[in-house]
Chains A and B, each alone.
Chain A
Amino acid sequence: MKTNIKLLFAAALLALYSGCSDDIIHKQPLDELAPATLLQTESGFRSALDGVYGLMKQDFNGYSFSIYTIPEAISDDLLASSDPNDYSFDNSVESLYPLTYNSATGAIEGFWRISYQAIYNVNTIIKQARSSSLKNKDVFLGEALGLRALLYYNLYRFYAPAYNTNKTALAVPYRFETDALLTIKPRSTTQEVIGYVLADLKEAAALANNTVNSYRISKTAIYALMARVYHETADYKNAVLNANLALADSRYKLDNTLSALEKEWDKDESNEIIFRIRFEKTETAQTAALLAIPVYSSYPYSVSDDLLNLYDKNKDIRFTVYFKNHPFIKGSYYPKKQAGTRTTNAAAFDPGNIDLKLIRVPELYLILAESYLHENSNSAALTNLNKLRNARGLGDYSGNNLSTEILNERRRELAFEGFRFTDLKRLGLGFTRTDGTGLPAHADRFALPIPQTEIDRSGLKPNPGY
């Protein structure tokens, strides 16, 4: 009897001890969050969206260097330095400028990788927002859709030929928020990608609002982006419509003094900036070293005469803001526009950061001018061109080649912001630099190669010509 009691006691001990095990082997992470948990609140959505901007810019190859250095190194506004002592942080002078880039070129793979990483993150937000019951979720959904449109538009811009010249050419794979992690999507055509981008923007415009500042995608930024995409794809009526909707936001307007323009580019302070990627002083991204590094006396690029000759050196307030005399080469200029000094610390050889101003008011006037012209409203075109010219210290345009002048004004105003590359593609132009390098019109190389890593891993079709 006693024996049985002992045995029973021992058995009971064991049984009790091993009960209630769930809390031991089911644990939740403590310093990481599941998407469904983070995106339960409005502040969670805000942080997650800011996380996407953060991701986009955290690497040279994304939206801190490559978004500008890729298109600028493949155009005719800049000439590479032949001095071996000049260098650029992201190596664009050597890897891109000679126009011999291939599917293994670092920046080309990097921009692709970061764009899709950002897309995965933004898709996660879109997916959660669509099923969210938060009152204010639409605003975040709108911003997320706008951001996704921006990411895909830039992928299209880099890796596909222009929609205008080839609507059925392969662009990039389009991943929706519903695509599973391991699903492999083939490349969509330029027409399909532009269709998806516009669909996102239309949905976004209806949802977003204008409570966010220029560090994030606001409703105005969405209209401006829509105007850009319509303009790019020659839907001028809609381009006009959306550019005007964007300009209706009284927060953003043209600067019209030298000091204001100087402040915009040197100190990142301006009412012209509708959307920018923000860089704080504490960050080590060194975006102020994009195209020139004065604190290192390194000038990887000088400005092409082609571009310089478009300006009225005396009257145009942009000239001294955008260019500066090369300290070593007489008569030559280096691009000063993207070398602001807001956070420069010359003593510590730190070029510091500038904000990357991705959407600005003057572009909208140029879109209006060009679109009105295509819609045969010459006077409206001229009015809008002159609004910009007047703001830049120039008088009204009096010549008779309005169409060329609008394009020249576009090149003047938007120099070193990546637009020249897109315009060459869109307009079916080629270029030849004074050093003999260049691309003929409609060259395959205007569409960057699909990265080899991607081809190896998902079997995508490469772009022709590589």
Chain B
Amino acid sequence: MKKMTSKKVRTALLFSLKTSLKKKLAALFLIASVLDVQSGNDSKKLKTANKQVVTITHEISNQQKIHGIVKDHTGLPLIGVTIVVNDKQQATTTDFDGKFEITVTNGDVLSFSFLGFKTKKIKITDQVLLHVTLEPSTKELDELILVGYGKTSRNKITGAVTKVDTKVLQNTQNVSFADALIGVVPGLFVQENFASPDAPPSILLRGVGSISASTEPMIVVDGVQMPRSGLGAFSLNAADIKEISILKDAASTSIYGSKGTNGVIIVTTKRGNRNAGLQVSFNTRLGLKKADESFTNDLMNGSQKLDYEESLGFYKSNPALLQKRRNSNTDVNWADLLLKNEINRENDISFSGGSDKINYYTSVTYNNVENIFGSHYKRYTATTRVDFDWGTRFKVGFSGNFGNVNEEDKRTIGSPFSNAFLLNPWLTVFDENGDPLRLLDVGNSSGIPYNPLYVRDNTNVSANRKNIGGSVNLTYTPFRWLSLNGVLGANYNSTKSSSFEKVIVNGGVLSYANGDNNNYTGTLTATIAKKFKKHNFDIVMGNEFNEYETNSLSVFARDFNSDAIQTISAAKTVSTLSERKSHAGSLSYFSRLNYSFDNTYNLSLSCRRDGSSRFGDNHKYANFWSVGTSWNIHDDFFKESMHVSSLKLRASIGTSGNDFIGDFASQSLYGYRSQINYAGSAVPYLTRGENADLTWEKNNNKNIGLDYGLFRNRISGTIDYYIRDTKDLLNSKPLPLTSGFTELISNVGDFRNEGIEISLHLLNFRNKHFSWTSDFNIAFNKGTVLSLSNEKDLLINSGSTVFKEGSAIRSFYITDWAGVNPKTGFNQYRSKDGKLTDYNTNRTGSNTNEINGLRQVVNKTSIPKYHGGLTNTFQFRNLDMSFLISYAGGHYVLNKGIYNLYNNPAFNQHVTVAAAWKNPGDQADLAVRQVYLARPTSAMVSDYKASSQFLQDASYIKWKNITLGYTLNKIVSDKIGIQRLRIYVQGQNLLTKTAVSYIDPEYATASGGIGLSSSLLRGYSFGLNANF
């Protein structure tokens, strides 16, 4: 009975909890159709509004144009102040000099509003020129900052929260907006990803807090949690973003409980202004990117390579072949053949506005990238947001996004980057007609591997990704002090990709994958704000559910009759067919109390209880809490000080967790995922052992911070010190083999990350025409493995880095290379006690096991010890310029690229390989090269890969970007009907200083490896912003 009632109520409220996809989609459609209807109404109203304006201009004769300038209390012009006439009719904003002009009638009331300032109203009584000074809304520029489930003023904040200046979003030329976060947020280590045009960067906050679970922060957009696959799971255009906050410590992340462990990135998107006419903003950009090809200088040329092959004995049995190859006198530059220049374009346009009851924002974006591998990439996104008041107590907001990506990803065909390094320069690539040959010679044989150019020409590859997201937001304010808010958000993604290699290449190969996932979050919060004299209370109480579902199918099929039919069912052999499905859900209760006395002493308490389907039956629920406090020292001690303009001390302690552990990791189940077959049928087997005690990773955070401002805030910034302890880390624990498994997912250890983050904002110079500001930040982090449940075993998670009790997180586990033994020609490796051991690389006498045993955990890690950035921003009259230098250091990487350039004799090699050891007594830097003449393509090991020989300092400093812009004089732009017009040029990744050879150091992975994946990509672009 009770169930029924609740069901009805929930359906009525659109908060459908049912898991069936149909119902979920129905809910989505409902949201979408409401949105449609609403936006339709809206445009009608809009038209009417416009007409009215027009009418007014014509009918009323006593109108006049007035000019003015808006300044802050220090006398500096304020840019972008909203000026509204009579609360509705007309609106404008101030320009770069703080100037405005607007048409008014005597008796009109102008209101001037700007974030962080008190709104000022002025009645027009014959003034022609207005000088307006806005006072800060509180003592200092006390802005509102996004925090979990609300906003709070900077003064009252107790946690470590960085508000990102969204102007930086203009500085990236990449599709993913998050690339703009590189080097600007203290403690947030962001690394560009070059895999695909819209691949989001990897993000790490305050060090590595997990072994096998995700280390990426959670992302919340407009109050809706995005899927855990992170930034790649939804399309959001930089131009649509209004605010970004990064939550870092317990006081701020604990309210997200089991999802807050890696920090939280909160994003809100732009909405239309109330009482504002139609505002149109248009941006366009055209860019060029170029891969650094200087690596080709270190590769052998045609004759060098043939000499080298001859010296290895490739041609002993066939000297004629060598002669033929020498005679052809070929010297191919594969980088030129395989890499192109990237051309990228971006256009976006947005429309916004509103009346006194409703506001809207809608935008469309188009990206087009032709990247260095010849890939084609197109993305459209469209968003619409509408908010309206429903009576005096209800506010309703709708938002909807749609994104569509079509991509032909040629990077996946014929490994263009590694082939640019490794293909032989003496090869004949084209036939007499100039078409690429099907087969390329290799080593001492001919015609075995396929020509990547040929394969690229004969492979159809396509991918499509769609993202639909939307939310409904309902706010009910029964009393001034109480507001109830409900948000239901949904996000749906579908991906489809297929690659068909034509029959002519190798009989026809199809790989096909599709997948979809959807994610629902529903949140109900009650917010109470009460003030008794100097006591200020803000209370948030809430309840949240989240459901997640994912499906995927992948097929690999071979042998086709014709290219004309590229379906799975036309394949003669389907070698892999794998379908996966999973789902998860969580249910949470949370509350937070902020208490503030006189804006000087602040206390915040939060708690959250999370239940999750991902955890073992013994641990279905967990509780998280935090306590934070802050003290405005300025108010008590420096109120009269001329030097100290603000000073606040913060401290917080609390917990959060990580539930990204796999949906059913605690159960022992028959798996059908990885194909095993018996007698022609796919058969299941038990994939893991049961661990009913499995529980989530827990974070215990402590943070002390100081916010300071000196000399009228000309120098300001924050300093934070944190200790982040992660307990019950999840990883596979080794099991006796007799148990039937080699490992069991368990809670195995504890980590500590501690560090300092410093940010410094300098207003170096500012007058009427020129201003110069600098923003500097640096973060130091030290990660240590406090304990591992099995002390004896190193945890080798992936790559060459390991976890070992007492050592730094992800320390390298490598041998100590001691050069080449001149007598034997073998590499020598030093053991702990200084003894040298030769690595016998002869095929039959190999002592690999012995050398394996010489690996030691060294005092070098793959995680940077420090990182940060320096941004300088200049403004001179109509010119603006900013540039960013980003850096990271103290970390290392094992360069597998170099290893490949030394150890693949049948492929092109580094020039120094020719000088490898040959005869006893040779003093050489490279050991004797091994080759297996029977099959030269199978790489023989001459060097031990996991050794200090290939370890490189991964520190880098990059001139990440520069933007130079010019804004047209308002007088000029007004004439062509444009409010603001700015043109700009940009550069990206212009200079890099690093010890990492050939590859962009940002490509180094957390597991400590780097391969022949991408060299530096320099970008240049120019563009235009227009508002009208």
- A: residues with CB less than 8 A from B are 3, 6-7, 10, 13-14, 16-21, 23-27, 29-35, 38, 47-48, 50-55, 57-58, 84-85, 87, 94, 104, 109, 112-113, 116-117, 119-121, 123-124, 173, 175, 181-182, 184-185, 215, 278, 280, 282-283, 296-298, 451, 453-454, 456-458, 460
Contact = CB atoms under 8 A, between A and B. Distances in A.
Contacts of A33: 669-670, 672, 684
B268 interface: no
Given A33-B684, A451-B737, 7 more contacts: A13-B9, A35-B669, A48-B684, A278-B679, A282-B573, A458-B736, A458-B738
B17 interface: yes
B493 to A, nearest CB: 18
Interface in B892-929: none
User: What are the 7 tightest A-B residue pairs by CB atom distance, in nearest-first order?
Assistant: A120-B740, A458-B736, A85-B934, A32-B669, A30-B581, A24-B585, A54-B678
B6 A54 contact: no
Contacts, number: 205
Contacts of B748: none
Nearest to A19: B6
A306 B744 CA distance: 48
B68 interface: no
B44 interface: no
A47 B118 CA distance: 73
A120 B686 contact: yes
A25 B524 CA distance: 18
B443 interface: no
A104 B847 CA distance: 13
Contact of A27 (B15, B478, B585, B792): B585
A108 to B, nearest CB: 11
B613 interface: yes
21 contacts: A14-B543, A17-B10, A17-B543, A18-B543, A18-B589, A20-B17, A23-B17, A23-B19, A24-B545, A25-B611, A27-B663, A31-B582, A32-B687, A33-B684, A51-B685, A55-B685, A85-B934, A116-B738, A121-B685, A175-B738, A451-B737
Contacts of B744: 181
Kindly name the residue among A50, A184, A283 whose own CB sees the greatest number of chain B CB atoms within 10 A: A50
Given A29-B664, A31-B579, A457 B685 contact: no
A109 B151 CA distance: 59
Contacts of A454: 736-738
Contact of A10 (B526, B545, B690): B526
B843 interface: yes
B148 to A, nearest CB: 19
Q: Is the interface of B mostly helix, strand, loop or mixed?
A: mixed
Given A17-B15, A117-B740, A54 B683 contact: yes
A228 B739 CA distance: 27
Contacts of B3: 19-20
A6 B484 CA distance: 11
B675 to A, nearest CB: 10
A457 B735 contact: yes
A182 B691 CA distance: 10
Nearest to B525: A14
A247 B581 CA distance: 48
Nearest to B844: A84
B656 interface: no
Nearest to B933: A85
Contacts of B673: 31-32
A97 to B, nearest CB: 11
Contacts of B611: 21, 24-25
B309 to A, nearest CB: 18
B742 interface: yes
B587 A21 contact: yes
A435 B326 CA distance: 44
B454 interface: no
Interface in B785-821: 792
A181 B844 contact: no
A50 B685 CA distance: 9
A30 B673 CA distance: 11
Contacts of B6: 16, 19-20
Contacts of A58: 676
B738 A31 contact: no
Given A20-B3, A282-B575, A29 B669 contact: yes
Contacts of A10: 476, 478, 482, 484, 526
Given A19-B6, A29-B667, A84 B843 contact: yes
B2 A19 contact: yes
Kindly name the residue among B2, B19, B679, B690 whose own CB sees the greatest number of chain A CB atoms within 10 A: B679
Contacts of A27: 583-585, 613, 663
A331 B725 CA distance: 71
B10 A182 contact: no
A34 B669 contact: yes
B677 A280 contact: yes
Interface string B21-51: 0000000000000000000000000000000
Contact of A457 (B13, B681, B690, B734): B734
Contacts of A38: 670, 684
B686 A121 contact: yes
B580 interface: yes
B90 to A, nearest CB: 38
